[in-house]
A and B are shown apart, each in its own frame.
Chain A
Amino acid sequence: MREFYGTKLSNALMLGTAQYPSPAILADAFKRSGAGVATVSLRRESGADKEGQDFWALIRKLGVHVLPNTAGCHTVKEAVTTAQMAREVFGTAWIKLEVIGEEDTLHPDTFALVEAARILSEDGFQVFPYTTDDLVVAERLLRAGCEVLMPWGSPIGSGQGLNNVFGLRAMRAHFPDTPLVVDAGLGLPSQAAQVMELGFDAVLLNTAVAKAGDPAAMAEAFSLAVNAGQLAATADPMEPRDMAAPSTPVIGKAFLS
């Protein structure tokens, strides 16, 4: 399994921490799924005095790797400042870098993303960039210092699944040594299984679990799917073919019975 900046994850499921009915249910979701990473937003809740600290303390108590994010940032400057605060609050160099370029689709501003990734990488951050399946942008992000890529499946919170399987497959083939995470757009566990079957290293999601009627059960369902997909990928799946291929041989059988 590929490592994330030298860290081996025990579980390929990464969960967001927003929108749950309560922090207690959030904790249940982590417990039942065994998710290895919790991503947490600092942008909205953070005033000048770090007023979200009671909630952040609950996140730390989950006992998983914390991946702070810059959700809600629209410029390089905002993202960099938020990342610096995140490092201070959580004592980690990890940052999920998100720079939004368009309000309706929450499409990343890939130009600002590359620039912010460069600044943060030079400052010692270990950047997890939220990007698209654009190979050129991906290349630029790696050149800017990123060692992980997080392409979207479809727009954040849409639950549309994988909009461009071809693009994701190309990305996997193009960057065989880079840890790849599909971040955003997943609505169902089967979609997460598909991500892992494509040979990706992890999935990151929030809404599909947090907004489910029973978030803890849905988290577990995603965890099972991720494990199934991961196992399938290592088992070298068969190639699809155009014609039927009977699983029992017909030659030698009495076919006129």
Chain B
Amino acid sequence: MENVSIIGSGVAGLCVARALLDRGVKLRLFERGEGIGSHACSWWAGGMLAPYCESESAEEPVFRLGKESAEWWDKHTGEVHRNGTLVVSLERDHADLRRFKRRTENSIDVGPDEIARLEPDLGDRFTKGLYFENEAHLSPRAALASLREKLILDGVDFIHEEVDPRVIAVDGLTVDCRGFAAKDALPDLRGVKGEMVILSSPDIELSRPVRLLHPRIPLYVVPRGDGVFMLGATMLESSTRSRISARSLLELLSAAYALNPAFGEAEILEIGVDSRPTFPDNLPRIQRDGNLIHVNGLYRHGFLLAPAMARMVAELIFDNSTPEMMHEHFN
């Protein structure tokens, strides 16, 4: 098998590298920054492997393909926590909880006692919720680091250089996983801005991602262990990758405070902003232009969908099949 070049070392690039390596390819991987860091969208991900909850607003492929993800991440990184997801709302928003239940599968109704058993720190505060026991979460930074380390051990050549995919593709098969930076080649791509906060609170313990439904300010909190939590995330039609607005920060923190007032005493560790690379249907795509294969548009589903996208790239290259998420109309 020929050599393959991958450009971009975010979640898409690393997963594609893993999938191709397992098929016996010799790989080199170009990355803009050195190592994993805040220059990649994946750095700021929530890390929820929640195909059931996401199906409330996402289309069917996200649900079906996302179900592969927990096992994949477990096998390749061992970083997965399979504790499910808890969805709650304040009393006045119980209609949103009913809608959420109607539009998703496999939820279990939980009352105050069950909520207290699942998450003792939320027990007194919520009377109704939904529990999705088949969901999982991971810590994105730890998972990416683990994936990367194994790739290096397995002989992948990481090159810290910003390169033009078209130039690299002259020498052989190239997979462009640059995310939003690939907009020069993929004009349909737009950015959906997300803002998030990482907090440390010794007063709160959570074992699983918790989603607080709200008509205006929905919130999720993902425990990172050691009293660290990620609050996310806004969804704004904007390609800016910096600058959190005061309003977004106020809303995220207020929602967290509504979940448990002890978050008011938490220490703010980080504030993150990035823009999710997204196509108009909010679904990911594989596009091929000769030697150059694009994998992009993972939107808010990077960790959920990258394993399936990587599998499809391998199928495209080795099995000569046309994968499901292949986008034929190259513009």
Contacts and interface: CB of A to CB of B under 8 A. Distances in A.
A and B associate in one complex:
yes
Interface of A: 21-25, 27, 44-47, 49, 51-55, 58, 157, 213
5 A-B pairs closest in CB distance: A54-B190, A55-B237, A22-B282, A24-B281, A51-B238
A47 B238 contact: yes
A213 B283 CA distance: 18
B21 interface: no
A24 B279 CA distance: 9
A25 B279 CA distance: 12
B243 A47 contact: yes
A58 B280 CA distance: 8
25 contacts: A21-B59, A21-B282, A22-B59, A22-B280, A22-B281, A22-B282, A23-B280, A24-B281, A44-B236, A45-B193, A45-B237, A45-B238, A47-B243, A49-B240, A51-B191, A51-B193, A51-B238, A51-B239, A52-B237, A52-B238, A55-B237, A58-B190, A58-B280, A213-B102, A213-B103
Contacts of B283: 22
Interface residues of B, number: 21
Contacts of B280: 22-24, 27, 58
B239 A24 contact: no
Contacts, number: 51
Nearest to B57: A21
B58 interface: yes
Interface string B240-282: 1001000000000000000000000000000000000000111
Nearest to A41: B237
B215 interface: yes
Nearest to B234: A44
Contacts of B240: 47, 49, 51
Nearest to B96: A211
- Of residues A24, A27, A51, which shows the largest number of chain B Cβ atoms within 10 Å of its Cβ? A51
A27 B280 CA distance: 9
Interface of B: 57-59, 102-103, 189-191, 193, 215-216, 236-240, 243, 280-283
B239 A54 contact: yes
A188 B240 CA distance: 36
B158 to A, nearest CB: 31
A192 B321 CA distance: 49
Contacts of A157: 215-216
Nearest to B299: A22
Given A157-B215, A213-B103, A24 B282 contact: yes
A44 B58 CA distance: 22
Contacts of A55: 190, 237-238
A52 B243 CA distance: 14
Contacts of B243: 47
Contacts of A51: 191, 193, 238-240
Contacts of A24: 280-282
Nearest to A213: B103
Contact of B58 (A21, A27, A53, A54): A21
Contacts of A46: 238
Contacts of B189: 54
A34 B96 CA distance: 29
Contacts of B239: 51, 53-54
A54 B280 CA distance: 10
A175 to B, nearest CB: 32
A52 B102 CA distance: 32
Nearest to A27: B280
A147 B88 CA distance: 45
Contacts of B282: 21-24
Nearest to B190: A54
A141 to B, nearest CB: 27
A55 B58 CA distance: 18
Contacts of B102: 213
Contacts of B216: 157
A187 B238 CA distance: 29
Given A25-B281, A55-B190, A55-B238, 18 more contacts: A21-B57, A22-B282, A22-B283, A23-B280, A23-B282, A24-B281, A24-B282, A46-B238, A51-B240, A52-B236, A54-B191, A54-B237, A54-B239, A55-B237, A58-B190, A157-B216, A213-B102, A213-B103
A23 B236 CA distance: 13
A236 B64 CA distance: 53
A196 B102 CA distance: 32
A128 to B, nearest CB: 22
A24 B240 CA distance: 21
Contacts of A47: 238, 240, 243
A173 B84 CA distance: 57
Contacts of A52: 236-238
Contacts of A23: 190, 280-282
A23 B283 CA distance: 11
Contacts of A58: 190, 280
A49 B191 CA distance: 14
A49 B236 CA distance: 14
A52 B239 CA distance: 7
A21 B281 CA distance: 8
A15 B59 CA distance: 22
